[in-house]
Chain A
Amino acid sequence: MLKKIFPVLILLGVAFLFVKYMSASESKKRFIKHLLKQVQYLPGRYFA
């Protein structure tokens, strides 16, 4: 049962975050973009 619900919950979560992002102000979007574009570097920075 949990196995079936889990992907749905993930999808709902992603959809919720997407809607939140789309309804955010331009300023907030720039803040989020600024953070997201650096996520790829975090593992390297952690070990630097």
Chain B
Amino acid sequence: MADYDVIVIGAGCGGISAGAILSSQGRRVLVLEQSPRVGGCCSTFERDGFHFDIGASIVEVIYPLELAFKMCGTEFQREVDLIPCDPIYSYIFRDGSKINYPLSIDDTAKVISAISEEDGKKWYELADYFADLMKQTIEAFFTNPANGFLDMLRMVRKNPKILKFMPLFFTSYQDVIEKYFKDEVVKQTMAFQSFYCGLPPELAPGFVALIPYSEHEGIYYPRGGMISIPEAFRRIGEKKGMEVKFNARVTRVIVRNREACGVELDDGTEITCDVVVSNVNAIKLYSELIGFEHLPALARFGVRSYEPSMSCPMVYLGIDYRPPLEAHHSLTIGPLDLMNYAWWNVLKPGLLPEEPFGLICWPTESDPSLAPEGYHVLNVMSIGPYQLKEKNWDEVKERYVENLINFHSSFSIPELKDHVVIAECATPLDFERQLLSPRGAIYGLQMDLPHQAMFRPCAKSRSIKHLYLTGASTHPGGGVPSVIASGVIAATLVDKYEK
């Protein structure tokens, strides 16, 4: 008899949610996490009384989370205290001017109409179209397996209406935005979200243009930091008997005759199990933990062809004043063409952008308990390459933080540089080391069409029996709701095939 029914490698949101669901089904589950905390990218760490979110900064599209908690026999809203964020964005332009988009579709239409009346009307058209897309696809696509043509056919059979959105798969995000909006400023405010799937507007698939709408269905910050979500899964799972071991690094998945039957830890300990659920990036899983010798030739070719998604440097700031910001999320952006230009001419050649545009998260606006009284926390995410052309990230880290603080002090957060009491930085290299994510990828793999659905690593491995995959590198992709949806999918498949 094996030591456990299921071993989950990695306590990121995908792994810990799958573990909690499987333990709720009465299985003996062991979760092995190489770091000292749960959550992976969706986690929070503490320094001198300041609590910083590692990567993920809010949660939206909460249906997969509600489903996952329901499968654990509880309710999301009962387990996690969600703070609604409104306005959803404050866009800060280089001249210091701001445009705030409220949560309400109607109020946002008013803001857009003040810039361009025609675009204000088009906003309603975009919202209607993507509201329909959300309605038709959220259940059929997000929380169901996409392991092959049959699964895709099942999705269509479940809801044939999703076929009408097929053109979105063959058009770019930029095409969609330009189809609806004519004003350059409005286009800017709708375009940056393509980077949430790790690609510039001209390369991201059209269906990603769902994001500027989906945010208006509600974005939330979990009280206590982003770690509150994976912690809730851990709490529920442990109540059902799930064991979680921290600082336990898996170095090998034990495979015999193409069947996963256990894991080996870095101290040489071997633990046996009937099923392995991996929350590790699929490239790392197949190439290092399993080894190409266990894969059929075609699968080896496929795994080698996967491209990790983009990474980004994150700067965590503790400050001793209330920053002059107007929302939980502020965006410093440039024209749409500049976003594409930055991709091809700055990120691809391994340069650092002179102006580190990106996202400013202000969690203490929503939850003041994350910093000592009178202090605030800012998590600043910018676009940046993994591989720098000249030096490496360890060498430029300090200068990068200094430049970023100066940049934001100059227009988006006046006086910032005089109020920083603590500054930390996680570079793409740090993400690679800490999250074991190849090239520091924050969304697992690329999120373009050739890495989607059945072309993403299968949730039920085709090559190794009793091996299941979860996390950002499998369907439906990166982002907290998608990763938790992947946990739901893995748990559902284990329940179906591993009696």
Contact = CB atoms under 8 A, between A and B. Distances in A.
A35 B449 contact: yes
Interface of A is mostly: helix
B463 interface: yes
A35 B450 contact: yes
Given A27-B172, A28-B172, A31-B202, A44 B302 contact: yes
SS of B interface (majority)? helix
A7 B456 CA distance: 34
B450 A48 contact: no
B340 A41 contact: no
Nearest to B304: A44
Interface string B446-458: 0011110011111
Contact of A48 (B172, B174, B286): B286
Interface string A1-29: 00000000000000000000000000110
Interface stretch (B293-301, B360-368, B419-427): B293-301
Contacts of B458: 48
B320 interface: no
Contacts of A45: 302, 305-306, 450-451, 455-456
Interface in B177-211: 202-203
A39 B457 contact: no
Contacts of A30: 202-203
Given A27-B172, A35-B449, A43 B298 contact: yes
Chain B interface bracket (under 10, 10 to 19, 20 to 34, 35 or more): 20 to 34
Given A35-B450, A46-B455, A48-B463, A27 B340 contact: yes
Interface residues of A, number: 16
A35 B448 contact: yes
A38 B174 contact: no
B148 A41 contact: no
B158 interface: no
B239 interface: no
Nearest to B301: A44
Given A27-B340, A35-B449, A35-B450, A44 B172 contact: no
A37 B454 CA distance: 18
Given A27-B340, A28-B175, A48-B302, A42 B450 contact: yes
B47 interface: no
Contacts of B450: 35, 38-39, 41-42, 45
Contacts of B296: 47
B115 interface: no
A42 B175 CA distance: 24
15 contacts: A27-B202, A31-B175, A31-B202, A31-B203, A34-B203, A35-B448, A38-B305, A38-B448, A38-B450, A39-B450, A42-B450, A44-B300, A44-B305, A47-B299, A48-B282
